[in-house]
A and B are shown apart, each in its own frame.
Chain A
Amino acid sequence: MSQFNRRNFLKALAVAAPASVLHVPNARAASKARVVVVGGGFGGATAAKYLKMMSPTLDVTLVEKNKIYTSCPLSNEVISGHGNIKDLEIGYDGLKKRGINVVFDEAGTIDPVKKTVALKGGKTLAYDALVLSPGIDFNYGGVEGYTQELAEGDLPHAYKAGPQTLKLQKQLMAMPDGGVFVITVPPGPFRCPPGPYERASQVAAYLKGHGKTKSKVLILDSNDSFSKKGLFEQAWKLHYPGMIEWIPGASDGKVVKIDPKTRTAYTNFGEHKADVLNVIPPHHAGNIAKNAGLTNEKGWSPVDMLTMESTVHKDIWVVGDSCVHGDLPVYAAPKSAHSAVTQAKVAVGAIIAKLNGQPAPVPYFVNTCYSIAAPDWGFSVVHVYRVDNGKLVYVQDAGGISVIDTPSITTLRRLEAEYAIGWLRNIMADSFA
């Protein structure tokens, strides 16, 4: 019996048979089901792990290009020398031990009708359910003069942690006192909304810590506001007076072109010469999702808000930075590791329920995102969502940013700087161990 027929048969059975009769064949069908997960970042690793944890007899395959994953969260702290990139790296042995087939390959063509994923290595995987967590890819053309070759060469964006992170760190270390470190911010949405501003803070922390206080960090922004703005500006004023300047889009902050030779960033009406030029190019859903036709006109994958299943193709669930999710348009879920992990857990619940011919369970989405602006100076933003009348809504009584003005500010900021690190240790274990 083909997959399709067997599933229809089970659905028919579910309607016709009394509950006590159908559980055994149903469970057996689900147990044989093949789930393929593409992308071994926070979202994909969590999906693979929780699928196996929640339903141990499932056949789960994780497809990932790299043997070692490097966490983007806390990678800005590597640029400043406050963190070590080794602490951000993790392999896939933990997932293998759980009985997940980990295939180091790249996903090529996805056929949503035949339900197959062709791998670049030549293999083709058939699936009953497919989880896509391909993260982001860059639109280098969004900033004229910037290219992938430059990113991998002298002008790292360092917006995927790894060798580029270390290269940017070296450029910062080599920058003379009085130099200008320019960070260009693409139009939203982009991964890690507070990322560019945390990076500016960490660069300033390095400069201050090394007595290079005549230097400047210039943020050239395509946008008119940013995540945790009040908290960052408070930290900048306190820790790095006069060192960080933010130019919003409305004040001609949007960089449209660069000259890599002279390290000059051009806005519509102005130009800024940099000693270190850190271009963060605009991005979109990972190419795997894009090539599978799962993205909208803005380049992101729309999903059912309650299950994470693609609204374009059935039996494909898209989680993590690639998807558009949240109580849109006001409270879109930020593209964070924490969002990806909770989305993955919801997708797992929905997949197992669907394979068992059951309705998807009530989903729980939450996001916690820490930023470290200076040593012992961390803060966070929290998002909590709930289902109300079948719709996903942002819980306005909860969530929000850390308190800005409080007598307990020193303790509060110190705790959250510490929690940022504890958070990373636990979320890495939750996803990969």
Chain B
Amino acid sequence: MRYRALCGMLLAGFMCTSHAADPIEALANTCNNCHGVDGVSVGPNMPSIGGLPEAYLKNIMLEWKSGARFSATMGRLIKGYSDEQIAALAKHFASKPWVPAAQKTDAKLVALGKKVTARCAGCHGETGNAGDGETPNLNGQWSQYLQLEAVKYRDDAVAMPSRPMRNAAKKLSDEEVKAVAEFYASQK
């Protein structure tokens, strides 16, 4: 819909192809294979990235590129792109709306998660929607993905740059990790 409206506006002055309208879109389309169209993932262990803060997206991609941040797969992909392309990708996906994933959550775990995440609210906001332009949205992110991220933070052999997150994740029991993920996943 938005594309059509944009076409209407541009018709008088420019050719109406997506590539002419937004040259980064061709590159961004290659991300859709794993992260969904407009960064809305439908795979529970792949994160949605559309609507995440631009600064966050840019930062993690640059950290993957330099190797400062552990990644299973992303580092090998991102090393293929220039810093300018990375910045443009971050801007592109940040401009998309954040769409909380519709997913079933366990009410008991959500309740426990609400208690446990009181200590996370300082950085992540009460519902995981910090809104500070830097901290990634957790509200409606996939529970399974969040649990896998916790695996990284809890493994000392894995290079995750945020010390506060490493410390916080290690203080949680296995059940609490699940609860935190379920709580944020349940938020809109």
A268 within 8 Å of B (CB atoms): no
Chain A nearest CB: distance from B154 CB in Å? 9
Interface size on B, residues (CB 8 A): 46
Q: Mark B116-149, 1 if CB is under 8 A from A, else 0.
A: 0000000000000000000000000000110010
- Which residues of A (390-430) have their CB < 8 Å from a CB of B? 395, 397-400, 402, 406-408, 410-412, 414-416, 418-419, 421-427, 429-430
A356–B77 touching, CB < 8 Å: no
Q: Are A384 and B34 in contact (CB under 8 A)?
A: no
Residue-wise interface mask of B (66-78) relative to A, using a CB-CB cutoff of 8 A (1 in contact, 0 not): 0000101100111
Chain B residues within an 8 Å CB radius of A400: 76
Known contacts being A411-B151, A423-B46, is A24 close to B19, with CB within 8 Å?
A: no
* A218-259 vs B, Cβ < 8 Å mask (1 yes, 0 no): 000000000000000000000000000000000000000000
Inter-chain contacts of A341 with B (CB < 8 A): 33
With contact pairs A23-B11, A411-B155, A430-B36 given, residues A361 and B19 touching in the complex (Cβ less than 8 Å): yes
Cα A410 to Cα B44 in complex, Å, equals 21
Q: Does A191 sit within 8 A of B, measured CB to CB? A: no
Asked whether, in the complex, the Cβ of A368 is within 8 Å of the Cβ of B77, the reply is: yes
Q: CB distance A56 to B3 under 8 Å? A: yes
Contact B45 A419 (CB under 8 A): yes
Q: How far is the CA of A395 from the CA of B82 in the complex (A)?
A: 12
Contacts of B77 in A (CB 8 A): 366, 368, 382, 384, 398-399
Q: Shortest CB–CB separation between residue A359 and chain B, in angstroms?
A: 10
Q: Which residues of B contact A421 (CB under 8 A)?
A: 43, 45
Are A395 and B79 CB-contacts (below 8 A) given A364-B26, A426-B34?
A: yes
Are A398 and B34 neighbours in the complex by a CB distance under 8 Å?
no
Q: Are B15 and A358 in contact (CB under 8 A)?
A: yes
Known: A395-B79, A426-B36. A366 touches B30 (CB 8 A): yes
A contact face: mostly helix, strand, loop, or mixed:
helix
Binds B, one of A192-200, A322-330, A345-353: A345-353
Tell me if A116 is interfacial: C-beta within 8 Å of chain B: no
Interface string of A30-73 (1 = CB under 8 A from B): 00000000000000000000100111100000000000000000
Answer whether residue B35 sits at the interface, using C-beta atoms and an 8 A cutoff. Answer: yes
Residue from B15, B23, B144 in contact with A26 in the complex, judged by beta carbons closer than 8 Å: B15
Interface centre among A55, A382, A407, A416 (most CB of B within 10 A): A382
With the chains together, A358 CA to B36 CA distance in Å? 28
- Interface presence of B111 (CB below 8 A): no
User: Measured between alpha carbons, how far is A195 from B12 in the docked complex, in Å?
Assistant: 50
Which of B23, B35, B76 contacts A398, CB < 8 Å? B76
Cα distance, A56 to B155, chains bound together (Å): 47
B32 at the interface (CB under 8 A from A): yes
Q: Which residues 35-78 of B sit at the A interface, judged by CB distance below 8 A? A: 35-37, 41-46, 70, 72-73, 76-78
The docked-state distance in angstroms from the alpha carbon of A422 to that of B47 is: 9
The interface residues of chain A lying within 8 Å CB-to-CB of B34 are 368, 419, 422-423, 426-427
* Contact partners of A399 in chain B: CB under 8 A: 76-77, 79-80
User: Is A380 positioned at the interface, with any CB of B under 8 Å from its CB?
Assistant: yes
A338 at interface, CB cutoff 8 A: yes
Taking CB atoms, residues of chain A closer than 8 Å to B72 are 380, 402, 412, 415-416, 419
Are B73 and A380 touching (Cβ within 8 A)?
Answer: yes
Contacts of B81 in A (CB 8 A): 384, 398
Given A366-B30, A427-B33: A382 in contact with B20 (beta carbons within 8 A): no
Asked if A96 CB lies within 8 Å of chain B CBs, one says no
- Taking a contact as CB atoms under 8 Å apart, the answer to whether A425 and B26 are in contact is no
B30–A422 touching, CB < 8 Å: no
Is B27 an interface residue, CB under 8 A from the partner?
yes
Q: In the complex, which of the residues A24, A345, A414 contacts B29, with contact meaning CB atoms closer than 8 Å?
A: A345
Q: When chains A and B are docked, how far (Å) is the Cα of A353 from the Cα of B81?
A: 24
Q: Nearest Cβ distance between residue B39 and chain A, in whole angstroms? A: 11
Given that A27-B15, A352-B19, A415-B72 are known contacts, is A426 also in contact with B155, CB under 8 Å in the complex?
Answer: no
A269 CA / B45 CA spacing, docked (Å): 48
Instruction: Determine whether the beta carbon of B42 is less than 8 Å from that of A429.
Output: yes
A349 to B17 CA separation, bound complex (whole angstroms): 8
Nearest opposing residue in chain B for A399, CB measure? B76
Q: Is B16 an interface residue (CB 8 A)?
A: yes
Q: Is A2 an interface residue (CB 8 A)?
A: no
Proximity string of chain A (351-389) to chain B, C-beta cutoff 8 Å, 1 when within and 0 when not:
011001010011111101000000000001010111000
Please tell me if the beta carbons of B15 and A23 are within 8 angstroms of each other in the complex. Answer: yes
Return 15 A-B CB contacts under 8 Å, by A number: A341-B33, A342-B30, A345-B26, A349-B26, A352-B19, A353-B17, A361-B23, A380-B73, A384-B80, A398-B79, A406-B157, A408-B157, A414-B148, A423-B34, A430-B36
